[in-house]
């Protein structure tokens, strides 16, 4: 599966992951690359020192059937009607202020390791939902095409 970390404006780092361990490893490398290129040094006058600020990193999933980027999420089932629906959830790695890049990498690695299983499930659910929607739309298209030709 193809994933990316991006700042929702003009920069993204893409990576491939095929299972949870590769997501942890490749995601960590991609996040490190994203933070390295998107940090900036800022002087904090009130404390009299220079610090590093990072951009927020958003995680997106590339659809398998259409070349579109999707927000990960969870497939849920309503209680009464047993209807499935998709609930997108923005997966972000927040703004960090630190003295050096190593501190930023340590925070990101810890955050990724703690949330990796849940994030991976959300990415897989996103592709499952895309597949279900695609199959439904193709079936509907086939039905409508048949009705048009019969008329």
Q: Is it the case that residue 147 has pLDDT exceeding 60?
A: no
Q: What is d(CA 113, CA 119) in angstroms, rounded to the nearest whole number?
A: 10
What pLDDT score does 74 carry? 92
What percentage of the chain carries pLDDT values higher than 90?
60
Average pLDDT, the chain: 88
pTM of the model: 0.84
Span 82-126, pLDDT tens digits: 788 889 999 999 999 999 999 999 999 999 999 999 999 999 999
Which residue, among 53, 151, 45, 46, has the nearest Cα to 100 in the 3D structure? Answer: 53
Which residue shows structure tokens 């499935």? 84
pLDDT at 151 over 60: no
What pLDDT sits at residue 149? 53
């Amino acid at each position: 599966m193809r994933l990316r970390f991006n700042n929702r404006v003009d920069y993204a780092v893409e990576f491939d992951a095929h299972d949870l361990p590769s997501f942890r490893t490749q995601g960590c490398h991609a996040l490190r690359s994203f933070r390295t290129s998107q940090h900036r040094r800022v002087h904090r006058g009130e404390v009299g020192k220079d610090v590093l600020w990072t951009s927020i990193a958003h995680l997106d999933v590339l659809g398998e059937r259409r070349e579109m980027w999707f927000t990960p999420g969870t497939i849920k089932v309503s209680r009464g009607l047993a209807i499935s629906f998709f609930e997108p959830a923005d997966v972000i790695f927040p703004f960090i202020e630190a003295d050096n890049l190593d501190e930023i990498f340590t925070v990101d690695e810890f955050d990724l390791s703690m949330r990796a299983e849940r994030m991976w499930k959300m990415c897989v659910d996103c592709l499952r939902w895309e597949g279900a929607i695609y199959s439904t739309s193709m079936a509907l298209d086939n039905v409508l095409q048949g009705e048009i030709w019969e008329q």
